[in-house]
C-alpha cells in the first residue's frame, strides 16, 4: 500500500509521515531529502548551477541512498548536512529540471516497490504515485506554517524574525507551485487537510483515520 502525503514547506508532512509509518509498521520515504542530497553533491563538486547538463550528469553519477530514515551520499550519512539554508536555497536549480525529476522519481518508485510505504513530498500523489491507495494533501496557512518554523528555529538556537521566515517561505511556495514539471499540487483524488489550529497529535489522529479509511 502506498500512502502519498504532499503539501507546502512547513505543513508538518515529514514528522506526520514518519509517525504514521511507525504506527502502521510501514516504511517511510522523505523525497525532499533526495533532492537535498543531490543539491549538496552539486555544491560539493563546485558545479555552477547554470550548467544544467553538468547537474544532470552529476545526479546520474552520484550514489544517493535512502535507508528508511537517513539519506547517504555514497557511504556518508548527510541527513544533517542537507538541512542548511545554502542547500535549501539552491534546490530549485535541480528540482526545476525535468531530467533530474525523472531520475529521482524513478528512484522513489524503486524504493516503494513491493512495500507498504508512507512517502512525502510535493508531487507524490499527482505525479510519482498516481496509483497510490491513499493520498493526503497536508496544508496550513502561510502564517501558521511560518510560526511553527520559527518555533523550530528558536528551539535549535537560530534566530530570524517572523517576517523573514514568512518571506523565505513565500518564495519557496511560489517556486514549488510554479515549476513546469512536478509542481506542488493536490492530486484530484487527494484528501485535503488544513491543519490550522490543530495540535500535532490531532493532525496525527486525523491522518491515521484517513489512511485507515483507505485500507
Ligand atoms: O520537503 P523539503 O522541504 O525537504 O524539500 C525541499 C525542496 O525539494 C522543496 O522545496 C522542493 O523544491 C523540492 N522537492 C521537490 N519534490 C519533492 C520533494 C521536494 O521538488 N517530491
Tens of pLDDT along 108-158? 999 999 999 999 999 999 999 999 999 999 999 999 999 999 998 899 888
Which residue has the least CA distance to atom 4 on ligand 1? 32
Phi first, then psi: what are they for 45, rounded to 5°? Answer: -80, -5
Calculate how far, in angstroms, residue 31's C-alpha sits from the geometric centre of ligand 1. 7
- pLDDT tens for 184-210 read 999 999 999 999 999 999 999 999 999
Coil, helix or strand for 7? Answer: coil
**Which contiguous run of DSSP H or E holds residue 2?**
strand 2-6
Please name the residues in contact with 172: beta carbons below 8 A apart, sequence gap of 6 or more. 8, 9, 88
Pocket test for ligand 1, best of 36, 122, 173 (most atoms within 8 A of CB): 122
Quick one: pLDDT band at residue 159, thresholds 50, 70, 90?
Answer: confident
Residue-range domains of the chain with CATH: 1-26+116-211 (3.40.50.300), 30-115 (3.40.50.300)
14 marked ligand binding residue? yes
Q: What is the pLDDT of residue 83?
A: 93
Q: What is the pLDDT of residue 158?
A: 85
- pLDDT tens for 64-100 read 999 999 999 999 999 999 999 899 999 999 999 999 9
Amino acid at each position: 500500500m502506498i500512502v502519498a502525503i504532499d503539501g507546502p514547506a512547513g505543513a508538518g508532512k515529514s514528522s506526520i509521515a514518519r509517525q504514521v509509518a511507525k504506527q502502521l509498521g510501514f516504511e517511510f520515504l522523505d523525497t525532499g531529502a533526495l533532492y537535498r542530497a543531490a543539491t549538496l553533491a552539486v555544491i560539493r563538486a563546485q558545479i555552477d548551477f547554470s550548467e544544467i547538463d553538468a547537474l544532470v550528469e552529476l545526479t546520474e553519477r552520484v550514489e544517493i541512498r535512502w535507508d528508511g530514515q537517513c539519506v547517504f551520499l555514497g557511504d556518508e550519512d548527510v541527513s544533517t548536512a542537507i538541512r542548511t539554508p545554502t542547500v535549501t536555497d539552491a534546490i530549485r536549480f535541480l528540482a526545476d529540471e525535468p531530467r533530474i525529476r525523472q531520475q529521482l522519481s524513478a528512484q522513489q518508485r524503486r524504493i516503494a516497490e513491493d512495500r507498504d510505504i508512507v512517502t512525502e513530498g510535493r508531487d507524490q500523489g499527482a505525479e510519482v504515485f498516481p496509483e497510490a491507495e491513499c493520498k493526503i494533501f497536508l496544508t496550513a496557512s502561510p502564517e501558521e506554517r511560518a510560526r511553527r518554523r520559527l518555533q523550530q528555529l528558536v528551539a535549535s538556537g537560530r534566530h530570524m524574525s517572523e517576517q523573514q521566515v514568512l518571506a523565505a517561505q513565500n518564495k519557496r511556495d511560489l517556486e514549488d507551485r510554479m515549476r513546469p514539471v512536478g509542481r506542488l499540487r493536490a492530486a484530484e483524488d487527494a484528501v485535503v487537510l488544513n491543519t490550522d489550529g490543530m495540535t500535532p497529535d490531532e493532525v496525527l489522529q486525523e491522518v491515521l483515520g484517513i489512511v485507515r479509511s483507505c485500507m
